Structure 1
Amino acid sequence: MPSMLPDHPKVPSPKLGVLLINLGTPDALDYWSMRRYLGEFLSDKRVVELPQILWQLILQGPILTFRPKKSAAAYRQIWNNELDESPLRTITREQADKLQERFGDTARVEFAMRYGNPSIPSLINTMFDDGCWKILCVPLYPQYASSTSGSVVDKIGDTLRAMRWQPTIRFAPPFYDDPKYIQILARSVQKQVDALDERPEILVASFHGVPKEYLLKGDPYHCQCQKTGRLLREALGWPEAQFRVAFQSRFGPKEWLKPYADQLVEELGHQGVKRVAVVSPAFFSDCVETLEEIAIGLNETFQEAGGDQLIALDCLNASGDGMEVLEYFARRELKGWLD
């Protein structure tokens, strides 16, 4: 007796999958591409915790009317014109490609964006159709926040809910205090500082901000950022008086986590500090927040306040250090599947 019906669809050989997940990116710089991306991002209930009827009136009105143009101007300054895409997509693809080289045939490695393309649903379905019945999802956020890692879990849950036959999913945990991550992050920072003409007077660890009320509701993000900053400073042996933790990218009228990065560097400039370096431990990959907001915007703010130069240090990206971290975490979380 045949084991399958004659018209049974072909079933691929099972394999392991690794899905790197980053925040997101617009597909292009035109108004409608920017509006589509911002609309998806700012419609996430974990990103903006307001009554949805009220928020959608604000979002679909003034915000999505005017903000796409402003955001496009920021992206335009850092756009990868050769590939016609944002640096975040370029870097995340490179991370996936290099991790694939390290895994060879033992796992299929792909990348997806929480907002924009390639989307999480498209990649999970494509990987599953190719036989990836076990998938490790790796959010590229060192610290947990409801609006980042929590949102990724939500999106994957929505994706699985729509599938009749679902893959088995694992989630890599946050790694904000993992000794391996701290060691390699410190090594990367030290190499970049050593390559500068002059040692910075102040090293700032700038993290993406969230509204303060999220902390008061129990989100661990603020505490995890502070711990990452402290462990990084200790690993570097950097004097406490010459190290600061700050939060950037605030949006809207509510109070966000403090100190605000722009106000901090302005104060440093007024105090006579001439050279500042900024590391971004909340971002594994360089993006508009690091390449434009910090490297260009914060530098301008600092210089206008009397400083000479603010230097944005590179994220780990797809460097040798970055890939060492990603391979370490992926292999650790695949234990029991790879063995």
Structure 2
Amino acid sequence: MRMPGIEHPRAADAAVVLINLGTPDAPTPGAVRRYLSQFLMDPRVVQIPRWLWWPLLHWVILPLRSKRVAHKYAEIWMDAGSPLAVHTRRLAAAVAQRMPGTRVVHAMRYGQPAVHEVLDGLRREGIARVVVLPLYPQYSTTTTASVDDAVRASGALPARVIGDYHLDAAWVQAVADSIRAHWDVNGRGERLVFSFHGLPQRVVDNGDPYADQCKASVAGIVGDLGLHDEDYVLTFQSRFGKERWLEPATITTLEAMARAGTRRVDVVCPGFAVDCLETLEEIAQQNADAFRAAGGQAMQYIPCLNDTPAHADALAALCDKALRA
């Protein structure tokens, strides 16, 4: 599919790399341990001195968590692999259909396909210009900046990294339309919960714009939907460790709603480009169970945009604009 009105560069001239967080290669303790070791050793992710963090991670955390996390992955694993890997691969293919004169590939910040290997492969193909799109709509030093680190460290090719797209009109419209489509089929809950991946409050206090961009994204989406303040709430999920994280927490918010008499809620996760462990297991399973256990009747999860046409259209337009800047 060619995007109307877009002129495309020659095939050997430019490339787009969609980069997602990453995933284990298999739902096994060994694969999970390898993945978590790479992920949690990134100083952008865990800002603890390496001499203190390395033994704590490898001697305490990974031995305790790897088997448990592997079980969680096994519950959502698809025939074609990890949901994050499958959906990212399909999204890249959908974007490629819309940019026929541009090489479009994907990579993972942690795990495979590795960023440096993908960029090196493009260099060997003779690609001269590269646009990198981290699949994080909202910028954070813990995610987007880490992708930029990996791109720079590869040294393979000069690349332009798109910092965020949290207020891109086509992306906002795609999220809003996906919510409407869900309501058309499944009915509408009493409240709409926006759940974003959390961050330690300390990171935001040090200047990270992530929380503000999450709020701006929600404002754009609810504006498109015509919602009032009492119709929705913004929350944060996936806490780790004991320090203070962004609030309110998704799971405690859902439990409080249920105890207050709310019977049906909808949850959407617009900070995730594609469905993954944090949406399919944490939200759609764990949080739904917690809502019902607290007295709620039904929590409906609204899937991520994944490789839907509207999502691919929005990202292709973003990347095409960046290639021409």
TM-score by length of 1: 0.91
- Paired letter, 2:82: S
* 2:22 corresponding residue in structure 1: 24
2:189 to 180, 185, 200: 200
2:171 to 181, 185, 204: 181
The structure that has the greater radius of gyration is 1
2:259 to 270, 274, 291: 270
- The answer to whether the aligner puts 1:257 opposite 2:246 as a matched pair is yes
Cα distance, 1:179 vs. partner? 2.0
What SS does the aligned partner of 1:296 have? helix
What SS does the aligned partner of 2:324 have? coil
CA distance in 2, matches of 1:168, 1:61: 38
* 1:102 corresponding residue in structure 2: 98
Q: CA RMSD in A?
A: 1.1
Q: Sequence identity, in percent?
A: 37
Contact 2:130 2:323 survives alignment (8 Å): no
1:128 to 102, 123, 129: 123
- Paired letter, 1:48: V
Contact 2:272 2:304 survives alignment (8 Å): yes
After TM superposition, the runs of 4+ consecutive aligned structure 1 residues lying more than 2 A away are none
Contact 2:283 2:301 survives alignment (8 Å): yes
2:45 to 23, 44, 47: 47
Gaps of 5+ in 2: 1-10
What SS does the aligned partner of 1:203 have? strand
- Paired letter, 1:224: Q
Contact 1:188 1:321 survives alignment (8 Å): no
What SS does the aligned partner of 1:177 have? coil
CA distance in 1, matches of 2:13, 2:290: 50
1:76 to 74, 77, 80: 74
- The answer to whether the aligner puts 1:305 opposite 2:300 as a matched pair is no
CA-to-aligned-CA distance 1:225-246 (integer Å, 9 cap, x gap): 1111122111111121020000
CA distance in 1, matches of 2:203, 2:86: 31
Contact 1:120 1:156 survives alignment (8 Å): yes
- The answer to whether the aligner puts 1:157 opposite 2:155 as a matched pair is no
CA-to-aligned-CA distance 1:138-171 (integer Å, 9 cap, x gap): 10100001110010001111111xxxxx422111
CA distance in 1, matches of 2:84, 2:143: 16
Cα distance, 1:14 vs. partner? 4.1
* 1:143 corresponding residue in structure 2: 138
Contact 2:195 2:269 survives alignment (8 Å): yes
Contact 2:98 2:313 survives alignment (8 Å): no
* 2:7 corresponding residue in structure 1: none
What SS does the aligned partner of 2:167 have? coil
What SS does the aligned partner of 2:146 have? helix
TM-score by length of 2: 0.95
- The answer to whether the aligner puts 1:111 opposite 2:106 as a matched pair is yes
What SS does the aligned partner of 2:36 have? helix
Aligned length: 315
